[in-house]
Structure 1
Amino acid sequence: MSQNVYHEIVITNNHRSSNQNADIWTVARATQLLSSADEVVVQIARRQLRDTSKRPGPPSPTRRHRWTAKLLNAPVQGRVARGQDLDKSTKDLARLQSSRSGLSFNAWSYWAKLRTNGLAVREAPVRLPQKKLCRRCRLTTETTSHVISTCPVHLPEMTGRHDRVQTILMDLLWDLGIKAVPNTRPAKDDRAVPDVTVTREMTPVYIDVTVPFDEPANLHRAGQDKRDKYSHLGTVLPLVVGALGSWLPENDAIRTTFNIPHRRWNAARLRMRASTIEDSCGLARGFLHL
């Protein structure tokens, strides 16, 4: 019953699920949106609720698109939305928010805060400059993206998040009989160590994983950085998974290069996205000592 907050940000009481848990999750999610500390999110949710109450039946695609466009155009609250909007060919995000989600309930509920800049960070404009510094590293402004993607104090957690995505990819390749070797230096005098090396018809193909913050420019830049870093080795296929579940369509070049069956690739993609979301939510909760 729950739907993608960026593609279908609706609150509806017109649909009833045979699954009681789905109703509970829908009410919980609606409550989060309506009680958000972010005024833009609250206004969108209230207007949609009022619109839905006045008009029987499910919201029309036109209305859904209108609210989606409003969120995507929001300069701050829409940053993650724009990154997640890059993937228009799958229903992964809708599934992760549904009653069939593979996320823990804590991660599922906290994810909504992170996607709409609802984390209680210190970047508020009203604060004095010295009060905006990250409470952990004291090096730069404490923003949501800094907390879950760049704070050096969280390097061990971010490394673990990266490694779990790499493991999912390696498991998939090995299960399909594709000979993949992790963390191998191509040459003794070369400092580059790609995450995964696959020898295909005597020609090595290198895959490197990166988990940046979900702004579109940041996602594309992360992929290009990987190509620039390893291009001297040969064919490089970046795997870019957003810290909050975004997916670059260019990642699917891995599937086509190695002829991975659609069903197996789709399942692995969903696991990768769920893994990064789970880890990022855990990192954020730990940061705030919740």
Structure 2
Amino acid sequence: MELEAAVRADDTAEFLRDFMSPCFRSPSCEWGSAVAKGPLTNADRAIRQLVWKWLYLPQRASSDIIYISHRQGGANVPHMGDLCDIATVTHAFHLLTCPDRKVRTIANATLKETVGKRAARAPAPQDTIAFLNGSLENDLGRQGGEMSSLWSRAATRRLGKRIGCHWTWAEEREEMGILIPRINSDQNTVVIPPARKLLERVLKSTLRCLYAENLKKKPDQGKVFEVSSKWTASNHFLSGRSFTRFIDWRFVHRARLNCIPLNEAARFGNRDKRCRRCGYENETLPHVLCGCETHSGAWLLRHNAIQDRVVKALPPTLGTVMEDSVVLGTNSLLRPDIVITNEEVKKIIMVDVSVPFENQSAAFQAARLWKIVKYTPLADTLRGYSVEIYTLLVGALGSWDPQNELVLEAYGIGKKYTGLMRQLMVSDTFWWSRDIYTEHVMGHRQYQDTQNN
């Protein structure tokens, strides 16, 4: 048995040595580890068409949304070309840092052999790192030394151009690692042999962040995404479609990418761009959902749907709750949406609900500041009370504002129900927004005002 094991080990070592050699030919590809990108490009194109149909998006929609995670509002479908490059780099790193000493030794020896043939001399560790990073400087750039092998540098070069990752050498530990910069951050992640299993995950996460940042930079299709990507609850329906109608599903993705067919969206011809209901000069989605006075009744119902969710979740120990009424003991005519008064501790909590359109984060900041300016004079008249003013913001297309967590914390609502309540508020909001849009375009009432019956 020991003899058979030794023979098998020798055969495996010989195969590994030949496989990682620059002269190894694979029957399925041109050179060892080389993967043709043509079929992958065709697969990506077919997948993109299917995802567009699934999300009910037009062809002009940004393809970035396909490769972004569910948590940020994307389809979470991997790009085949990216997976190929990640697999190549990850496989090479795993071989060079393999816990099995024999595999690690063979891998490093064949890499050194490949670099030596490229540079026509015995390579130093820095030469090996430069080779893996695709450097063409000094001896590595000489004519006639290029060859394909498992240690192909194209994958690292492509990823390096996009996310800035590169191989690095630590002199103090005498080991190699891969440095991966974080998107929009000065911090970097260095994957070293003890954390070798994290490499694939970090590379995939970094590429998803890259697609997200690319979409945020687009002034037309990225302004809503810049807000909706900040909190998981804004996109809860992507993984399970909880509390979401099919008609809402077909609406919300197009709306968030500003691909809704309104008069202002007409890109060709001399079509009248005025609002078909009120005559405003530009019929845009923000105008329809938050600016056309024709739908003021629906706005109120959308607002009240969020407010009712909050009131139902309030624990009785907070104090006396008043809705949409003047504050007792003052001469102000202001009517905060929710006022909670606790006479025992002399504390008043005012909360106003607002549904702004997601015109980037600045729109949410302006809405919150306006509410604070509006109710601060009222709070100053309440002598002897500790007054707290909060604004609960949910975007017209279902974007949950992270600062809403301060409101939920002040209420003392349980964590379990808080997660459910976020999802319900988000779904209620774009449910109403879809009905407002459909009524605006078709001219038929989409809801029943039960509050006035």
TM-score normalised per structure 1 = 0.79
The 3 A distance-change label for structure 1 pair 254 and 55 is closer
Residue-by-residue CA offset, 1:214-267 (whole Å, 9 max, x unaligned): 121111111111111111222211111111111222211122223222222222
Match for residue 241 of structure 1? 394
Alignment: residue pair count: 262
Contact 2:332 2:378 in 1 (8 A): no
Match for residue 191 of structure 2? none
**Is residue 2:357 matched to residue 1:213?**
yes
After superposition, residues 191-206 of structure 1 pair within 5 angstroms as 191-200=333-342, 201-206=345-350
Distance in 2 between the 1:117 and 1:191 partners? 38
Contact 2:315 2:412 in 1 (8 A): no
User: CA shift at 1:50, angstroms?
Assistant: 9.1
The 3 A distance-change label for structure 1 pair 74 and 265 is same
Which runs of 5 or more residues in structure 1 are unaligned?
1-12, 14-25
Residue-by-residue CA offset, 1:102-158 (whole Å, 9 max, x unaligned): 111110121011000011112247468882111111023111111111111111111
Who wins on radius of gyration, i.e. which is larger?
Answer: 2
The 3 A distance-change label for structure 1 pair 179 and 113 is same
Q: Which amino acid aligns with 1:208?
A: D
Contact 1:173 1:179 in 2 (8 A): no
Contact 2:322 2:338 in 1 (8 A): yes
Match for residue 62 of structure 1? 206
Match for residue 157 of structure 1? 298
Contact 1:210 1:239 in 2 (8 A): yes
Distance in 2 between the 1:85 and 1:134 partners? 29
Distance in 1 between the 2:301 and 2:251 partners? 19
Contact 1:180 1:199 in 2 (8 A): yes
Distance in 1 between the 2:49 and 2:246 partners? 14
- Kindly report structure 1 stretches of 4+ aligned residues shifted beyond 2 Å: 26-30, 32-35, 42-46, 48-59, 124-130, 174-179, 200-203
The structure showing larger relative contact order (alpha-carbon pairs under 8 Å, at least 6 residues apart) is 1
After superposition, residues 224-263 of structure 1 pair within 5 angstroms as 224-234=369-379, 235-263=388-416
Contact 1:241 1:248 in 2 (8 A): yes
Distance in 2 between the 1:122 and 1:242 partners? 22
Match for residue 53 of structure 2? 31
TM-score normalised per structure 2 = 0.52
SS in 2 for 1:60: helix
The 3 A distance-change label for structure 1 pair 148 and 222 is same
SS in 2 for 1:249: coil
User: CA shift at 1:283, angstroms?
Assistant: 1.3
Q: Percent identity?
A: 24
Contact 2:325 2:337 in 1 (8 A): yes
Contact 2:52 2:58 in 1 (8 A): no
Match for residue 432 of structure 2? 279
